[in-house]
Structure 1
């Protein structure tokens, strides 16, 4: 087992599916693996993979929740134990993966405090870009410029975790001139008029889009020079 480790403990040229210890739907995992074939886990997420017959390439965390029997099945060189308690297992994992993109499953739908911590990490760790796959939405930190072909009437929700402003094209209620902030102006339940383009003046805005756009969002987040 590896003890405290630096960044880039897992380096790959392919997208990574990162599995957490929260609610995990088999459909979510299958969807993620088809788009991001390299498997990694945050702590007890390794058990969810092993139970489904998959061996993770790397497991990150403080290992306070992974079962000893599961850890014993994983080659020691793939176990990265980070003992500090100042960050979550999701943060520990995401900050030590070097890949074009991380598609995270098993981090939504369980404890709300865990979900809030995951969203906070999306703002803190900008590389690699990360997309959370939920039952109805895909959730990600908006890069400086983002564009996606959408259908009129589809929901586009924006939620700030930092004070931030931006501009938009293709939204029923444009965001131009609005000062977004936690505890202040938010942008949930907006609607697309068609293709959408959003430019942000800084970090801090979380986007929630319909799940069917997962492949399109991945393509948008991994465009060269996206500046995320």
Structure 2
């Protein structure tokens, strides 16, 4: 089993993203995410997408520097480049999946990428989206949350109802609470120690850790 797959998508990226990499990560570049990796001295294990965001010379570099390139027609496809990369990564059955460059100026793409986390949850593979200020994941049972440098935490239901929510180690605890789509009760909680526990009975909960 692969330890971790890190996908670089075409959203907002920077040096902060490279700081998360480990030597044993498998790297997938989706469209211009592959260009970003190559420009920063990394060789993607797989480059995938329609590559409509790169020039011909950049595409040549991607083909030369990537261990494998999977190119598709920009019109005749059912998934975004990021979803293609994500589904490919799930088929590889990693122990963990990290998605960089999934958030950016296109809110529709950002929201669609957040929804991909539900797909990973269905496969039983821990996955999270990371950007410079946020870490986003799904909890569907019980999870330990570590502060690191993201002390603020918000909970948003991804399913219509999430029931039995219990928080321990937070400034504002919950016990057997229910959240429904459209509520802001779970916004801007704070860890009071180095870690806390988020538990629920039914549904899928977006757990968003943030720093200003």
Q: What TM-score bracket applies, with the shorter chain setting the length?
A: 0.7 to 0.9
TM-score normalised over the length of structure 2 = 0.79
For the residues of structure 2 that align with 1:86 and 1:175, how far apart are their CA atoms? 41
For the residues of structure 2 that align with 1:182 and 1:124, how far apart are their CA atoms? 19
Residues 22-101 of structure 1 aligned to structure 2 (within 5 Å): 22-29=11-18, 31-34=19-22, 37-73=25-61, 74=63, 78-81=68-71, 85-97=77-89, 98=92, 99-101=94-96
Contact in 2 for aligned 1:44/1:67 (Cα 8 Å): no
Tell me which residue corresponds to 1:123: 118
For structure 2, the residue ranges without an aligned partner over 5 or more in a row are none
Residues 163-182 of structure 1 aligned to structure 2 (within 5 Å): 163-165=161-163, 166-182=165-181
Which stretch has the larger CA shift, 13-22 or 105-114? 105-114
Question: Structure 2 residue aligned with 1:148, among 145, 163, 178?
Answer: 145
For structure 1, the residue ranges without an aligned partner over 5 or more in a row are 1-11, 212-228
TM-score normalised over the length of structure 1 = 0.74
Q: Secondary structure at the match of 1:156?
A: strand
Contact in 1 for aligned 2:43/2:67 (Cα 8 Å): no
For the residues of structure 2 that align with 1:35 and 1:140, how far apart are their CA atoms? 23
Shift of 1:45: 0.9
Contact in 2 for aligned 1:36/1:102 (Cα 8 Å): no
Contact in 2 for aligned 1:141/1:206 (Cα 8 Å): yes
Shift of 1:70: 3.0
Question: Structure 1 residue aligned with 2:135, among 122, 135, 138?
Answer: 138
Shift of 1:205: 1.2
Shift of 1:96: 1.2
What is the aligned residue count? 198
Shift of 1:190: 1.1
